[in-house]
Structure 1
Amino acid sequence: MPVITELEPIAQADDCQGLYPIREVARLTGINPVTLRAWERRYGLIEPKRTESGHRLYSVSDIGTIRQVMGWLERGVSVSKVAQLLASNSSVDVPAPASSEYRDWQTRIGSALTDFNEPELERLYGQIFSSYPIDVVFQGIFLPLWQQLLGTRDTFGRTSEWLLLDGFLRGRVQHRLQLQAAVARPCVLVVAMPELCRELELLVAGLLLTRNDRVVRVVAIGQPLEELSLVCQKLEPRAVVLFANHALNTAHQRRLTRLAQTLNCSVSLAGEASDVVQEALANSSIACLGSVSRLINQRLDAELKATPGG
């Protein structure tokens, strides 16, 4: 999942290099000290170090974990389930979100956004794309910054910066998707669960699923699920991947199960919501692909091989 990264320097504890007192962590994250202590004691979500006098000190990794927790809570996941989700994600071999290299890029992108300097943003985008694989470009660098700006829109100027970044990235991702759309290969449809993700998140999911052996078609945000069977009759996709980054309630799960019964192809769920409902959908025909690029592709490959024509 995208991890919110800091856009300002952190004031370190004077006597412990690289560690930060609870008041500073509370200021940076917006989570009060009482809640931070509860997350530690009741749920084991963070394990700060202690001074000889018993004061808590947090590492950059701890701060990253706190922001991951915030991200899950904002998506409707209960705090009691977050520890399991963090543990399952930590077992996946993904780039470290606290990497100073990624933060350096994000700082430079943030400066370009603050100056509303789109040519510089374009230049940085090109440099990053030529330096990293596509999953790192988006899940490691751009989307965490995008999420940070989205979460701080109450700060003057942040909404304008977010809109600039959002529009810029949507244009670039749509262009890359269009480059592969005309080639006749097996088709996979990527469709948003209504109101459970934003357009950029959906487009990036489609791009990360794109491979040489298949075409991915991202259906526009707002597609009625009730009409999806009609779309599939015309396009005859090998698979439909529903995408959601916010938690599915019971009504969503029932709707998804009913939808799968109407489609004559593999139906899967991807995004952060799929990590949450995996157990609830275990006895259904719907595969949960997860939210990490490598796992999504591996699990979708397995689904396609298991279906007729695979």
Structure 2
Amino acid sequence: MTKQGRNPAIEAGLQHQDLFPIREVSRLTGVNAVTLRAWERRYGLIQPTRTDSGHRLYSQADIDDIRRILGWLERGVAVSKVGSILARGQMLTHGAVLADCTARWQAQVREAVHRFDALALDSLFDQVFAALSQDQVFSEVFMPVWHDLAAGPGVFGLASEWLFLDQFLRGRVFARLQLARLPRSHNVVLGPLPGPCLELELLVTGLLLASDEVGVCLLMPGQVLDELPLVCERLKPDALVLFANHPPGGGLGKRLTRMAAGLQCPLLLAGEAAEGAQDGLAGSPVACLGAEVELMRRRLRQYLAGQLDT
């Protein structure tokens, strides 16, 4: 219910709304100033902005929240319980706002790509990163457009548009990966499985798996599978993660099991290939991280902490 929980897209809209002093809010809602301050301090039900001198200023959204609070109090709900009720409703609102924002950003990305406008695409990338989490930037905005262009039904020009967007995103993701190359408590090597693997998917996966605790060293498509033990011997990672978003080929499980025996670090499998190979690798020394980013990230942390079995 606090402003810290609001979506940045909502905050941007609030900057353009009128703000009201507490005496005016009391007049509009019938709630005296002492009660408004108590709702703020004791229960966190409303969080008005403050002037430099400390005076409270309320937005129209704050006033609407106050009226909702009054409505629940009139129904007999205790004031201490109102916050959780409003928070659930706010989450639904945020979801609708987020869906609207991401649809609009996707349309703007498509238009910039259609014009081959690198400057507009640069600006959009920065805007989206400022408003959304890193996961959402890719899963909700850029990668859906990338996938749609890749799957275009042979429409003239779409191949060039896809290449333009692909090149742009690879450059931006690679730059962010370079900025993140600092010493970490754990370091993993991320490489592609044999077969079709698009570089951007690998780069994005590396960026999203990296964290303050986990550093990621990327091996690009074309990496020879049989040379991975040599690479790991020299890099000495805490784990080797192999990634692919295509179905695992026949005999992959046996090949990976043999490789794991020759590695000096654990071998993990990620992406859609992990989903397809999980049953066949049960009981083997190869751990499957799954295909969804948050799941991969959580399982990787658990495995590095010794809390995830193969």
Question: Quick check: 1:181–1:215 contact (8 Å CA) kept in 2?
Answer: yes
Distance (Å, rounded) in 2 between the aligned partners of 1:305 and 1:184: 14
Q: Does 1:122 align with 2:122?
A: yes
Distance (Å, rounded) in 2 between the aligned partners of 1:139 and 1:285: 31
Seen in structure 2, the aligned counterparts of structure 1 residues 154 and 226 have a Cα distance that, compared at 3 Å, is same
- Which position in structure 2 is the counterpart of 1:146? 146
Structure 2 unaligned spans of 5+: 1-94
* TM-score, normalising length: structure 2: 0.65
Counterpart secondary structure, 2:268:
strand
Letter in 1 for 2:210: T
- Which position in structure 2 is the counterpart of 1:156? 156
Shift of 1:144: 1.4
Counterpart secondary structure, 1:250:
coil
Higher share of residues assigned helix: 2
Distance (Å, rounded) in 1 between the aligned partners of 2:103 and 2:260: 41
Aligned residue pairs, count: 212
Letter in 2 for 1:173: V
Shift of 1:184: 5.5
Question: Quick check: 1:113–1:121 contact (8 Å CA) kept in 2?
Answer: yes
Larger radius of gyration: 2
- Which position in structure 2 is the counterpart of 1:87? none
Question: Quick check: 1:190–1:217 contact (8 Å CA) kept in 2?
Answer: yes
Among all aligned residue pairs of Structure 1 and Structure 2, give the percentage whose two residues are the same amino acid.
42
Question: Quick check: 1:239–1:266 contact (8 Å CA) kept in 2?
Answer: yes
Deviates more, 1:272-281 or 1:123-132: 272-281
Shift of 1:185: 4.2
Q: Does 1:276 align with 2:291?
A: no
Counterpart secondary structure, 2:305:
helix
Shift of 1:290: 1.3
Question: Quick check: 1:190–1:206 contact (8 Å CA) kept in 2?
Answer: yes
- Which position in structure 1 is the counterpart of 2:189? 189
Distance (Å, rounded) in 2 between the aligned partners of 1:266 and 1:139: 28
- Which position in structure 2 is the counterpart of 1:137? 137
Matches within 5 A, 1:1-310: 99-152=99-152, 154-183=154-183, 185-306=185-306
Distance (Å, rounded) in 2 between the aligned partners of 1:132 and 1:114: 24
Distance (Å, rounded) in 1 between the aligned partners of 2:127 and 2:226: 42
* TM-score, normalising length: structure 1: 0.65
Question: Quick check: 2:184–2:213 contact (8 Å CA) kept in 1?
Answer: no
Question: Quick check: 1:242–1:270 contact (8 Å CA) kept in 2?
Answer: yes
Distance (Å, rounded) in 2 between the aligned partners of 1:241 and 1:99: 32
Question: Quick check: 1:266–1:304 contact (8 Å CA) kept in 2?
Answer: no
- Which position in structure 1 is the counterpart of 2:45? none
Structure 1 unaligned spans of 5+: 1-94
Distance (Å, rounded) in 1 between the aligned partners of 2:243 and 2:227: 16
Aligned CA-pair RMSD: 1.8
Deviates more, 1:154-163 or 1:174-183: 174-183
